[in-house]
Amino acid sequence: MTRDRERKRALSMVLSQSRHQEKKDAEILAEAKRITEIRLAARRAADLDVSGNENIGLDKADGGPGCSVSPSSNSQLPATAVAPSILTMADYASTLASLRMLHVYLRTYGLEQMVQAASSAVGLRTIKRVGQTLQDLGVNLKPKVPTKTVCDEYLELRKEILTLLNLQKQLQYKESEGSSHREGTYAAMPDTPKEFQLKDQSRRNRSARVLEGRQTLLHQLISGLEN
């Protein structure tokens, strides 16, 4: 069942692609092709350098008294053969460094679609409260650097906020239910037993502890996003 849901979700994301998304995907594929070509060129240049150095070493070892290599030709050969490979390797290294810094980015509207899918079961008022809670906690409504790790933490934070809001709603309901029950009990029985008050107080304390635990988890997630 979970695999079918993921397959349907992926299919709906593909079918809902706009022209802008398709253009963005084409640019990403072109960039990946360019990086692959740079890697192949760097590998070929490195192989040529290694084979050229081996040939020069063999010529020096096998050359007799009449086979002397002039210093000018010997110095010109590495300059012309190695300079392009050095430039290619520098470009390749810079490209790899930039890719390591960027990690893995999600597609343009991937995060929004996942947020909509996660919030499909709640109402509009709850979604607004989630956004307000994010602003109160100092978290942007959209991540500035939407890498896969950041987006996963962001979705996890939204889920925890939804759980926190549900717990707050349940706590309010329990408190109102307990207060109405107490009022009815007081009206019927003026001398209420002390055990009822203790049970009601312990139930409220238990709900408050769960709420505090959720708030601590939220702060941990926020600190992880900032790091």
Cβ(164)–Cβ(210) under 8 Å?
Answer: no
Q: What is the mean pLDDT of the chain?
A: 69
Taking the C-alpha atoms of residue 48 and residue 62, their distance in angstroms, rounded to an integer, is: 21
Comparing CA positions, the residue from 156, 154, 132 lying closest to residue 226 is 154
Per-residue tokens: 75: 């110095």
What is the domain partition of the chain in residue ranges? Answer: 2-102, 110-226
Confidence of residue 194 (pLDDT cuts 50, 70, 90): low
| Contacts of 25 by beta carbon, 8 Å cutoff, 6+ apart | 17, 107
- Give per-residue pLDDT as tens, 148-162: 777 778 888 888 888
Q: Which residues pair with 147 in a beta bridge?
A: 105
> Residue 32's Cα: distance from chain center in Å?
20
pTM to 2 decimals? 0.37
